[in-house]
Structure formats: C-alpha cells, structure tokens
Amino acid sequence: MDKKILIVDDEPHIRLLLEQTLEELEDEGVELLIAENGQEALEIIQSEKPDLVFLDVMMPLMNGFEVCRAVKNDVKIADVYIIMLTAKGQEFDKQKGQEVGADLYMTKPFDPDEVVEKSMEVLGLV
C-alpha cells in the first residue's frame, strides 16, 4: 500500500458510505483509514501521513476547521490534500474552509462517482 485516504466523520453511516464508495480503490493499492472525531484524525494524520483526507466539519473534540488549520499551519503537513465534506454548504462556511487551508469543499449529500473521481485525480490514479 503506497497511497492512503483518511475518512473522518462522527456519523457511522457516513463513514460506512464513504468507505464503501472508496473501497474499489483498494484494488489500486490504496489503504483506507478511519477516524471518528477530529482529535483522532489529527493523530492519524501525523502518524500515517495520508495523501487525501475527507474531513467532516461538525465533530466532537475538534471540529474539521480546527483539524484542517492544525494540519496546514501548525504541524506543517501541507502536502495532505484535504476535502471538507459537510452539510454546511453556506458561502460563509466554504470561505472559512478555504481560510483554514482546505483544498476542496464538498457538500453532503455527495455524489459517490464524484468522490471516487476526485480521489483518483488527487492520488494520480487516472
């Protein structure tokens, strides 16, 4: 396994849906990692250095904005591609996501084909 994707969401059904959506990439050598909250996500990002992170915004312990800011600014792991994946689709929220360093902002409900396509593009599998 040389590519890693981290799925971060506090809702189990969303984690499962994303995992099922992305599991076809495991045939391409991609490892899927899972985190249930922001604090766990930050620990995994620091230890595993995933290539791509699907990051929920509203989570316990640390929200997605705090995790993204920490990754992009504090711990200086800027080469992690972060996609904020959230139900908060207002322009203010998108702008806040950009301010903390998110590479892309997607709103729920998401299109599984778009998630796979973007993942393949980010990981260089196209």
Q: Which residues contact 98 (CB under 8 A, 6 or more apart)?
A: 105
Q: Domains plus CATH for the chain? A: 3-120 (3.40.50.2300)
Q: Which residues contact 52 (CB under 8 A, 6 or more apart)?
A: 3, 4, 5, 6, 80, 81, 82, 83, 119, 122, 123
Q: Which residues contact 72 (CB under 8 A, 6 or more apart)?
A: 78, 80, 82, 100, 101
* Tens digit of each residue's pLDDT (9 = 90 or more) over 7-52: 999 999 999 999 999 999 999 999 999 999 999 999 999 999 999 9
* Distance from C-alpha of 103 to C-alpha of 120, rounded to nearest angstrom: 15
* Tens digit of each residue's pLDDT (9 = 90 or more) over 43-77: 999 999 999 999 999 998 999 999 999 999 877 78
